[in-house]
Structures are given as C-alpha cells and as structure tokens.
Structure 1
C-alpha cells in the first residue's frame, strides 16, 4: 500500500515509496519524518556524519574521560572559543596510523541525477585528511556546530580516544615488516603500487550509523595510472577474468582497444554507477573536449559486494565521493603519501577468508636495459573461505577457529589492479594479468562460483596519444624470448600474493549491519608459526 506524506523539506505531497521528493529532489526516508529541528528543517541523520556514529548524548562519557587524547586536554571554555576546524585539528588522532597531523577542509558538494538524492548545495561536509597515510573521514558540519561546548568535549573525547586503538587497529605492522617474504624478488622502496612512477591511489571512507539509521561501511578508491592527462595520453591496458561473477564496468573497450583513458575506480557493487559518474565528471572538468570534439570516454570501475557489513541497498556512495577520491590520489602523489591499506576506501566493508579484508598493496622490482622498473599491485579483497587460507604455504585457515563471518552466504570477490612502468603492450599485459591468478591461488582462493575475480593491468611505460600526429607510431616493447617477461610474470604473482596478505594484516575489527561483527586477522597468533622458518 502506498503512503502519502508531506515532504519534510518542501511540504509538497509525495509517496513515501518514491524515496525522492519529485518537487525538491530530497531523499525522504521514514526517519526523516520523525523530528524537525529549530529551523523547521528535518533533523539530518546524514549518512556522512561520523559524529552521529558516536553521539555524545548516548555515550554517557564525561568531559573528563580519562581515555581522551588531545580532546581531553581542552577545557570547555577553550572548546567554546575555537572554530570547528581548530577543534578537529587539535583533537585529531588517525584511526589507522596513529598520526596526529591532519588537514581540515569543508566542502559544499553539488551535482545532478543520483547525486541530488542528498541536497549537497545545502549540507556542508567537513573532512579530516591524515597527513601521514591519507585516510579521510567525513563529518556533517551542521551536526557538529549544533553541539554545546560540553557535548563537543564528550564527543571529541570519544572520537579521538587513545582507548580506541584496539578497535581501529592503530600502528599495525605490514606483512613484510614482520620479516615475512613472498618469493625471492626485491620489493620496491614502498612495497606498494605507488612504486610505479606516476601511479597513486586515494581513498574516501564512509562510516556511519545511529538509532534507526542504516549502517554504512563502504567507500571509494581511485587509482591514477599517471599524473598527466589520462584521456589525452592513454596507458596501455588489458583485463583478465578469473571468474566472471562480477559487475565491473568498462572492460569491453579496454580489451578491444588496449588502452585505459581514465582512473581505475573501486567501490561496492551498487556504487559502480555513482563512482563512474563521479570519475566522468572529474575527467570532463579536466578536459572540455570529452563528450564533444574529442569523443566519449571509457571509465573503468571495479566492485565487490560489501553487503555483509554495509547497507548496500542504501546507495550511499555518491559521485562526489569518487571525485574526492581522485583528488586525494593526486594529492597523495604530490605529498608522497603511502597507500592506505585495510578498511579504507572501497575496502571499508570487505571480508577476506572470514576476517576483515579490504585494500592491500605490494610491488616487485624488475631490472631491464640497465635500469630498474617496477610492477605494483593493489587488491580489493572480499573473497575466500576461512578454512582455505594459506600463508606462505602454511594451512593457516585450518589452524584457526571458524568465525561467524565465514558463514556468510555471499562468495565474495576480488579486484586485482596491476601497474607497471615497463613498456608492455596490451597483449603482454594480459599475459601478466593472468599470472596474478597464480598469486591469488597461493593464498587459498579457488575462485568460488559467486566470486567475481577480475584483474585490471596497465602500463604507463607505453602511452598512446589521443590525437597522434602520424599514421604510424613507433613503440618500444619488452622482448618475449628471454627471461625478462618471465620475471614480469613472477613479479605479478608474488606481488598479488603479498598484497592479499597485507590486506589481512591491516584489517581491523568492525561491526556492521544486523549486529554482525568481523574480526581483525589474529596476526600475533599466526606470526609464531613462521618464527622457525628460513623465510622469517
């Protein structure tokens, strides 16, 4: 039965089943009708407000909470005298790396189509960006500014408390930092996809919940093949489908033309269209010819199903999040920030082998023609049955107790992005992409029926101009009758394997929808297994 209601924003009649008011284009959900603020507008339980996740009124914490870090050192009078930007900067502790340095910015987002489900012209969003690891957290500035100094004191103490370290997984070491090594090849200096010159990644993480509100555990990750004009200078590219139970967009043209002409976007399954729209808007903003005299553009977007923890039906990923992820990827390159791993960006709500998965990355150095090149891998892990997990050949999954997340119905998926500065053409890249499957298999994956296991490979060592000046183009490619191409295969397999392990080692405990919980991988219990091994 349809329910006729008055839109709480504009007052016009609409059907609740529509979800979006046809007059003002606001999203209208049942909890929007439950309260009106002092300005006559609905109380905004926005899904982007991390402040509502830890409401001071509900927490019961006092202003003198002994667990507070920066926030606990600020008096109520000091809080009353500071701007919101100053408060966030003074209280900040990164929930991923533990850094206390951040930048604080405010954005008023706008758009059309799906991006208008929330009125971004009205709602101003504030975000902190960690100067060390680049993790971004979003807040609804209107919600925060309505807090009294006393309420803000309790809220900041809760948000940035040192006692949250055990929950957020602060300062967890990477896989290789335990002395563990995959294969015999040398890693790049960063042991990440960012070792490939010009390649960078950015994450936007969406975390929110509250009484009668959906639980949001999702995000967007953007990978830039190089720092120039991606459309005008197209990177050679290819894809390989290990198992095709996936909804990745843009791969048909990649395999037909052998090029990539924009960023690679990663998100949840139902966020593909929004992420693609955001990337498209960004690219059109950078190049007026796109959609006009220069023709159309192909946006590649990969996905995994994060619905075990995340309210995926809520369509919480918006085009603006994709734009911001791309901007952060550019900023990461300029500031030489490391690639975030674990529950960040698209990896926020992902589960791997029954443990908290997400983003992982690794790289290998390859010598050719008297210089050093790199093959880097970034994975989005959301796959595997716990009992199958294997680490460096050890049947770790059989030694660990089963957990609730291992009983989820979905088979999951994995997206593997392989980048290199070696001059590999599309055909050669597809050969390299196939070898990523070997690295994936070493971890215990069997590519379950419902698992969308996709490899996307590109080279910024072979760029094709959008408007070549000559009919015949001279290109330089890696020879294939010697050991060099085999070393590329080995690098892709080894880096993929280690990237999967890194996503597990960076994982953090996380609760999600329907009261579900996914635990961080028990690193300390597993490390002892390897102490006697020669690889340690």
Structure 2
C-alpha cells in the first residue's frame, strides 16, 4: 500500500487538548501555517511490512504564477551537526531563502534535491538562467528512519517529491502530524515520533512565530513534559520494553517561521533559541544526533531597482520572540508524539515490541483523562509548590522553619497499586481520586 497524504484537518486530540499546560497563546491552527502565506504538503509512503518513509514540503510564501518564491531573510543554526541540510552554505552567504524546503529520510536527500529542481523546470519550460539560480541549490533536510524503514530499498522517488510539492500548493492551514511525510518512520524519546507543529501569537509585538519539526531523537529516560520527568517515571514503573537500541541517535529538524521583520543575523539568534526548547524536554543533543534548525522571516523585502530596503525590529525587542520560539518547539515535539500511532516496520516484531508497547503506554499514561500518572505528577508538583509557599510564609512570620513534608517516598509503588485496584474495579473513581490526593 502506498499512502499519499495532503494537509487535512486532523480530528485527533493534540497535546494541548489533553490538558498539558504549555505556556503561551497559539494561533488559529497552532501550526506553522499561522504565519501567513506558508503552505505545507506531504507524501507518505507505506508499503508492505518494511517501507515507512516520505517527504514533507514547505513553501515559505505562496507560490507565484511561475512557481518562484519571493526571497525571505533566513539563517540557520546547528546544535549538533551529525546531519545534513543541502544548500545551507548559499543561504548563510546570501541571508536569503529563495525556494521551497523539503524534509525526508537520510538516504533520500539526493533524489529530493534533484526532483525539486526538475519540478521547477517542468513548471517553467522557458526558465531564464537568473531564475534558476534561486532553486539550483535547494534546501533539503533529513533525519534517519532506519529502524522502521528499510533503507536498502531507496523508496522515495521523483513522483513522491512532486506530490508533496503539489499538495503544498493546494493546502489549507491545517497540518496533519505524527506518521506523515518525512516523519513517517521516525522515533522520538523511545516513542513513535515524526512530524509536529505549533505556533505562538506574540501579542506584545503583534507578530506570529510558528515551527514545524521532524522529531527523531532522544532516550526515554530523558523525556520531560511540562517539567514532569515522564520518561524516568515510566522506566521506574518497569516500562523499559524497547527492542530498539536505547541510544540518543537520530536527528531533529526544526523549521521556524515568523512574520516579524528580522534581518539574517537576528534570525540566527532566533534559531539558536530552538535549543532551549529541546532542553525543556530533557534532550542533551547526543553525539550522533543531527539537530539542525532553520529560521526565516516572511516580512516583505522591497524590490526597488538597484536598491532593496527592509524594516527590522531592534535587537532589544526580540525577547518575546525568543520566548515564543522556545514554547513552540516544546509543544510541537510533544504534538508529534501524541499524534503518532503505533507502527510495525522493518524487521517486524523487533521494532513492533519497541513502538507498540511504549507508544501505547505513552497514550495510556499521558492521554487518559481519568487517571494518568502525568496529571498525578503535575498535582504533586503543584502541591509541593503550595507547601513550600506555606513554609516560606510561616518562616517569615515566626522565624521557625517547619520540617519538610516527605514527598515521593515509595510514591510510585503506592500510586501503581492504587491504579491496579482502580483498573480491577476494587476502587470506584471517587475513592481512587481521594486516595491519590491523600497520597500526594
């Protein structure tokens, strides 16, 4: 089976819908497409029991009648360079992004690069040389999907690249996430990962920041969500059932867009802040991970003969954009994991054990609205904060510091016991919640 997917409105709940407390206010779609003019398309390839890959296409601006792109100021940052983005040296030299962006798997970078150029030439039969310059060194990024996808086959073909580009041209603002496009075969923090997106409205400046990620990095024990050490807690509960090597291998590609008027050096500053979003999730950007980020601005560059002018924000006005970037990256990666579904791939049962067991546990423990451990940990943290506040108030008033409450002592085992009793219906819901809150 070959599944070719365009950007359609998803009915799946996203991380924010499940009550995970992210900072900031998202745009209409909570997606990179909240930055006006951006279009995203996919081609997803699922064949037999071993092909799990695809292509993601991003248009920085709506295409002109000749499929050309008005240039955008752009720059990039490599947190750890064990990866590839083609055309990046020209982008850094010129400070301009002049063509669509493609994201795929590691071994399909070449075919995507060549096919993007061929797609442009087919749309422009009488293309002048000066127009070709803008697309002859296209931007193609990659992450490794070799655990779920049979990389010996080289499944991505020209037709898939064309399909992703054509789908982007006719896309709307909704973006599907998870097992789609270039993210189809990706794994993140030991769970099924893939494509994710998020946006923030920067009300102080009346601008928008949006990101799209292809998430394929991290170890389970590192995962932190909204400050909660979810991965470590799950391992302590005996959920280390991965059959895929537990190593910080893979990569992360982040494409960041904003309509704020920024110059290339300012966009590099924005791209570096992506790293802090990874840090909030617990990533250390391991040695074999290619964590590479590209940022661009869709603000208009005037096109006056012999002279181009551009407005830009002062550097001291960029802090709200920094905060929005960090928030978007954190949420987009979690969105990718929440949207991704169990996938059996290359080498069958070995990969299935890893993805199916762990991903279902992710859904059960994070997404279940009745009694997920995730929300229990949130309550623990909130209760601890309230207790610390009470201690501080008492100390300020009396000068006496009361003994600290002992938190987390045998907590996991006791919470697990309560959960098992609830599952086996020896506790009703109200009793279960009351005992949990007493334990907390």
TM-score by length of 1: 0.64
User: Do the aligned partners of 2:8 and 2:176 also contact (CA within 8 Å) in 1?
Assistant: no
Q: Distance in 1 between matches of 2:328 and 2:272?
A: 13
Q: What's 2:186 paired with?
A: 350
Of the three residues 202, 216, 222, the one matched with 1:382 is: 216
Query: What do you get for the CA RMSD once the two structures are aligned?
Result: 2.3
Q: Distance in 2 between matches of 1:496 and 1:131?
A: 20
How far 1:264 sits from its partner (Å)? 0.8
Deviation per CA, 1:454-505, whole angstroms, max 9, x where unpaired? Answer: 00111111446xxx54222221111222xx3100001111100100110111
Of the three residues 439, 443, 448, the one matched with 2:286 is: 448
User: Do the aligned partners of 1:221 and 1:346 also contact (CA within 8 Å) in 2?
Assistant: yes
User: Do the aligned partners of 1:236 and 1:462 also contact (CA within 8 Å) in 2?
Assistant: no
Within a 5 Å distance, the mapping from 1:17-28 to structure 2 comes to none
Q: Distance in 2 between matches of 1:392 and 1:350?
A: 22
Q: Secondary structure at the match of 2:270?
A: helix
Within a 5 Å distance, the mapping from 1:177-256 to structure 2 comes to 177-183=17-23, 185-209=24-48, 215-229=50-64, 231-256=68-93
Of the three residues 95, 113, 132, the one matched with 1:276 is: 113
How far 1:326 sits from its partner (Å)? 1.1
Of the three residues 339, 357, 365, the one matched with 1:506 is: 339
User: Do the aligned partners of 2:26 and 2:200 also contact (CA within 8 Å) in 1?
Assistant: yes
Q: Distance in 1 between matches of 2:69 and 2:337?
A: 37
Q: Secondary structure at the match of 2:308?
A: coil
Q: What is the total number of aligned residue pairs between the two structures?
A: 361
Deviation per CA, 1:257-306, whole angstroms, max 9, x where unpaired? Answer: 11111111000000111111222122223445656243422210110000
| Cα 1:455–1:129 shift into 2, 3 Å | closer
Q: Distance in 1 between matches of 2:94 and 2:8?
A: 38
- Higher helix residue share: 2
Q: What's 1:174 paired with?
A: 14
How far 1:181 sits from its partner (Å)? 2.7
User: Do the aligned partners of 1:203 and 1:340 also contact (CA within 8 Å) in 2?
Assistant: no
User: Do the aligned partners of 2:214 and 2:252 also contact (CA within 8 Å) in 1?
Assistant: yes
Q: Which has the higher contact order (CA 8 A, sep 6+)?
A: 2
Q: Secondary structure at the match of 1:456?
A: strand
Q: Secondary structure at the match of 2:275?
A: helix
Q: Distance in 2 between matches of 1:330 and 1:393?
A: 38
Of the three residues 72, 95, 107, the one matched with 1:258 is: 95
Q: What's 2:227 paired with?
A: 393
User: Do the aligned partners of 2:4 and 2:42 also contact (CA within 8 Å) in 1?
Assistant: no
Q: What's 1:82 paired with?
A: none
| Cα 1:490–1:131 shift into 2, 3 Å | closer
Q: Distance in 2 between matches of 1:287 and 1:239?
A: 29
Of the three residues 321, 325, 329, the one matched with 2:168 is: 329
Q: What's 1:417 paired with?
A: 255
Q: Distance in 2 between matches of 1:356 and 1:474?
A: 45
User: Do the aligned partners of 1:360 and 1:501 also contact (CA within 8 Å) in 2?
Assistant: yes
Of the three residues 277, 294, 303, the one matched with 1:439 is: 277
Which residues of structure 1 form unaligned runs of 5+? 1-48, 51-126, 135-170
Q: Distance in 2 between matches of 1:236 and 1:219?
A: 28
Deviation per CA, 1:216-247, whole angstroms, max 9, x where unpaired? Answer: 00000001111033745111111100100002
Q: Distance in 2 between matches of 1:242 and 1:462?
A: 29
Residues 1:312 and 2:151 aligned together:
yes
Q: Secondary structure at the match of 1:205?
A: strand
Q: Secondary structure at the match of 2:212?
A: strand
| Cα 1:232–1:332 shift into 2, 3 Å | closer
Q: Distance in 2 between matches of 1:373 and 1:366?
A: 5
Q: Secondary structure at the match of 2:203?
A: strand
Which residues of structure 2 form unaligned runs of 5+? 383-440
User: Do the aligned partners of 2:6 and 2:164 also contact (CA within 8 Å) in 1?
Assistant: no
Q: Distance in 2 between matches of 1:244 and 1:128?
A: 31
